[in-house]
Amino acid sequence: MKTVLITGCSSGFGLKTAQYFLDRDWNVIASMRSPREDLLPRSERLRVLALDVTDSKSILRAVDAAGPVDVLVNNAGIGMLTVFEGTSMETVREVFDTNTFGTMAMTQAMLPQFRQQKSGVIVNVTSAVTLMPLPLLSVYTASKAAVTAFTECLALELQQFNVRVRLVIPGRAPETRFAESAQSGRIQLGPEAYAGFAQSVFARMGQDSSAVTHALDVAESVWQAANDPSCPVRMAAGADAIAMAKSV
């Protein structure tokens, strides 16, 4: 029976992916900053671990507690809508610490095991915002675009050890914490000169009724990435993400 370790399982993509693998008889290690046992059904095949991907000691404790793992899913991330001029570098670093460096740190911590066993899959979850430029997302997009470049280079580096590295690219997902963050004030407008432009962007977002990505779309794509050696390195997840990928 195979084992998957998933980061960021407290909600959204991570929670749905954990449930998806659990329903298909995998051992699931669901990690989150503040562990909650009530988010997933009780199972002998489920473990919930505390993990903060921005804390090296937390990463080492979690990897040690996890034991043998077949698949690592780097899903933990934070969203940010921001006017760049009004964004402190402290906030920029916070976004990169989780979205970019957290993914790299988790991957590096798992690589000795994967290399020695000459097998393993790493699935990094990014975002379709990396496929085309969008306003107020410069910091977030940059943090995710870095993961895309990292993933594609690492895939070549690890082929010699029979370790696969894949990228799942979700589109806009209203039910995730990213949407909650945008609605609850995790928005930095910056100088007054940007106010009119920012409000027009928010208005367009509110009126957008186009196709979206659901958590199940992402869970299905992660499952495919974990189980299908023939799947491409990049996989769009969700109707909007698939349409964006085809247009670039």
Summarize the chain as % helix, strand, coil (round to 5): 50, 15, 30
How big is the chain, counted in residues?
248
3-state secondary structure of 156: helix
Dihedral angle computed from the Cα positions of residues 243, 247, 13 and 118, in that order, rounded to the nearest 10 degrees: 120
**Nearest-angstrom CA–CA distance, 29 and 18:** 8
How many CB atoms lie under 10 A from the CB of residue 235?
Answer: 22
> What's the start-to-end Cα distance of the chain, in Å?
39
CA angle at 24 for the pair 18 and 25, rounded to the nearest 5°? 95
Tokens of 54: 């921005």
Identified catalytic residue from 114, 140, 178, 223? 140
Active-site residue 140, yes or no?
A: yes
DSSP secondary structure, 186-213, as one string:
-EE--SGGGHHHHHHHHHHHHH--S---
Q: Would you say 39 and 15 are in contact if contact means Cβ atoms under 8 Å apart?
A: yes
Active-site residue numbers?
A: 140
